Amino acid sequence: MDLKYEIGQLLSTAISELTQEEIMSILEVPGRMEMGDYAFPCFRLAKVYRKAPPQIAQELIEKIPASPFIKRVEAVNGYINFFMNPAPFISHVLTSVLEQREKYGSSIMGEGKNIVIDYSAPNIAKPFHIGHLRSTVIGNALYQIHAFLGYNCIGINHLGDWGTQFGKLIVAYKKWGSKEEIEEKGIQELNHLYVKFHEEAEQNPELEEEARGWFTKMEHGDEGALSLWKWFKEISLKEFNRVYDLLGVSFDSYAGESFYNDKMEPIIQELKDKKLLEKSEGAEIVDLSEEDMPPCLITKKDGSTLYATRDITAAIYRKNTYDFTRCIYITALEQNLHFAQWFTVIRKMGYDWHDKLVHVPFGMVSMETGKLSTRKGNVILLEDILKESIEKTKAIIEEKNPNLENKEETAKAVGIGAIIFNDLYNNRIKDIVFSWDKILNFDGETGPYVQYTHARACSVLKKAEVKEQNLEEVAFELLDDDASIQVCKVLEGFPKVIQEAAERLEPSLLSRHIMDLAQAFNKFYHECPILIAEEEIKRARLALVESVQIVLQNGLRLLGIDAPKQM
């Protein structure tokens, strides 16, 4: 039952001039509870009916049919205010949650549809730093949300495992590297060499040419160059997988840029055959001047390929392999132009699925100390941040609850969860400044606050020794106080929020919703005695507590966050 939908239906029987969808888009939630649960402003109808809004409101309420879910309807200053009948509403919401449990909010709307999600995509031989966190956790959340709605998701980690940077690394390794150092220090040593290359190249620009030469050798299958490249890749993946294990993130495919090496030539030929490829200063481009964009570079002067070449090839391969309904790319906002360019090339090639390619941009992440750069070496490793968060959480647990069972496990769940939630709480397009004080605050709008609320609900249920209740015997009508009603309103909105988060590719809608639920529940917890209440009221309130516990757990899970039972 959707209260807004129900009111939209009631109004549409009285207003023939607007569709139910139009009516629902105009419905408002009043600022104060005493003004009702929903309000319909009649000002838009003034021109249609040639009457004052207060008169229209008064006349329309005479035509609105009765509903068991609506207690009363009032006309006030040109608004029609709807007051919900709480008993059937609360009974319906809590029964739905308690019957559907971990499936509450799920759907079969995506059945039979494939969604490809391209996320994380760190560069081989470069540190997996805090800047990579956003693509990884946004992508994982969108994967979980779409899967919950019945879509078949294919998560792809399009590794940055090809390109001129490997030429740079080979040059740096041959000039200043040591096999033993790399085996011992892993990516840190590879990054050290990469930084040294850029420092040296500023004094000696010929190194750049040497690096391009090594990359061309790689493209032409030189065994020595490729064996070094494979070794750099193995060292990197070992380290990446440690971070993915900490985050609880996995992928269905690790097909990175190098996977498309033998698949690009036919695509370049297709661009030629379709008269889209032009020569420009020795390079090959697709002219996009009609679209007011710079040209899309397909091959360089030396014949080597670029990101766009590989992305175009990958998109065609993915469509042929997975026949996707949507192919979603989660990368930084600063890559907007790159995606706009090659999406346009796909359209110019005549592929009618070009509009199924979606770029999901996000803002930058920075530390309070400033911006990150792999070239200059001032990066903060994501693994270090995650481990530090776990340690800081452990210290908080030791201080506040030293006798807690499974301290290590809980510290990991809360420490990692705090970082993920912090990333997913604001609109993804916003830049994030990383602040420990904010992230690990158990009282603010944070992951630990939501997890603590979930643990609080679990604690109440454990103390009450809740067994499965016969829901028909629960007196839901006793939950008639404002705090209980507000909790149920937030619970009722959960399925809609999940669908909206999928449509708008915006996980923050879900994280904010479960924060609203945690806050509403804590208000209820402080205002409504549970374990000492009279038996019938206690049973009804425990049904509400259990519903909150289920939905918080579902919501956290979809964001990629564990929900500890004790904290």
463-520 residue pLDDT tens: 999 887 788 889 999 999 999 999 999 999 999 999 999 999 999 999 999 999 999 9
- Residue 147 pLDDT more than 60? yes
- Order of strands, sheet of 70-76, starting from the edge strand that comes earlier in the sequence: 38-41, 79-84, 70-76
- Band the pLDDT of 371: cuts 50, 70, 90: low
Q: What share of the chain is helix, strand, coil (3-state, %, to 5)?
A: 60, 10, 30
pLDDT computed for residue 442 by the predictor: 81
Task: At 113, give phi and psi (nearest 5°).
Answer: -115, 135
pLDDT computed for residue 369 by the predictor: 60
Query: Rounded to whole angstroms, how far apart are CA atoms 433 and 219?
Result: 39
Whole-model pTM: value is: 0.90
- Residue 375 pLDDT more than 80? no
Retrieve residue 184's tokens: 């011992």
Mean predicted lDDT score pLDDT of the chain: 93
- Residue 74 pLDDT more than 90? yes
Of 146 and 369, more confident? 146
Using alpha carbons only, how large is the chain's radius of gyration in Å?
A: 28
- Give the chain's end-to-end CA distance (angstroms, integer): 34
- Residue 351 pLDDT more than 80? yes
Q: Are the CB atoms for 554 and 104 separated by under 8 Å?
A: yes
- Band the pLDDT of 41: cuts 50, 70, 90: very high
Q: Are the CB atoms for 516 and 497 separated by under 8 Å?
A: no
pLDDT computed for residue 177 by the predictor: 94
Query: Rounded to whole angstroms, how far apart are CA atoms 123 and 158?
Result: 9
- Residue 292 pLDDT more than 80? yes
- Residue 374 pLDDT more than 60? no
Residues with Cβ within 8 Å of 42's Cβ and at least 6 positions away in sequence, in order, are 53, 54, 56, 57, 60, 78, 79, 80
- The interaxial angle of helices 407-425 and 382-400, nearest 10 deg, is 120
| 3-84 fold | Gyrase A; domain 2 (3.30.1360)
The model's pLDDT over 78-131, given as tens digits with 9 standing for 90+, comes to 999 999 999 999 999 999 999 999 999 999 999 999 999 999 999 888 888 877
Retrieve residue 59's tokens: 């006349």
- From the centroid of its chain, how far is CA 518? 20
CA separation, residue 176 to residues 171, 198, 204, 296 (Å): 8, 13, 15, 36
Q: Are the CB atoms for 538 and 225 separated by under 8 Å?
A: no
Query: Rounded to whole angstroms, how far apart are CA atoms 540 and 150?
Result: 32
- Band the pLDDT of 163: cuts 50, 70, 90: confident
Q: Are the CB atoms for 374 and 125 separated by under 8 Å?
A: no
pLDDT computed for residue 127 by the predictor: 80
Residue with tokens 């564990």: 562
pLDDT computed for residue 263 by the predictor: 95
Query: Rounded to whole angstroms, how far apart are CA atoms 27 and 339?
Result: 37
Query: Rounded to whole angstroms, how far apart are CA atoms 362 and 263?
Result: 30
CB atoms within 10 A of CB 216: 17
- Residue 245 pLDDT more than 70? yes
> How big is the CA angle at 478 (ends 475 and 482), to the nearest 5 degrees?
140
> Which are the catalytic amino acids?
126, 129, 132
- Residue 28 pLDDT more than 90? yes
pLDDT computed for residue 132 by the predictor: 86
- Residue 377 pLDDT more than 60? no
**What are the E-state strand segments in 419-560?**
432-434
pLDDT computed for residue 379 by the predictor: 63
Of 270 and 400, more confident? 270
User: What single-letter amino acid sits at 546?
Assistant: E
pLDDT computed for residue 304 by the predictor: 80
Helix residue ranges per DSSP H, 37-85? 46-49, 53-63
CATH number of this structure's domain 115-367, picked from the four choices 3.40.190.150, 3.40.50.620, 1.10.10.10, 3.30.465.10: 3.40.50.620
Query: Rounded to whole angstroms, how far apart are CA atoms 367 and 563?
Result: 27
- Residue 376 pLDDT more than 70? no
Query: Rounded to whole angstroms, how far apart are CA atoms 416 and 246?
Result: 7
Q: Are the CB atoms for 151 and 110 separated by under 8 Å?
A: yes
pLDDT computed for residue 368 by the predictor: 67
pLDDT computed for residue 231 by the predictor: 95
Q: Are the CB atoms for 434 and 368 separated by under 8 Å?
A: yes
- Residue 220 pLDDT more than 60? yes
| Domain boundaries along the sequence of the chain | 3-84, 115-367
Q: Do domains 3-84 and 115-367 have the same CATH topology?
A: no
**Strand partners for 74:** 81
- Band the pLDDT of 2: cuts 50, 70, 90: confident
- Order of strands, sheet of 114-118, starting from the edge strand that comes earlier in the sequence: 152-156, 114-118, 326-332, 357-362
pLDDT computed for residue 234 by the predictor: 92
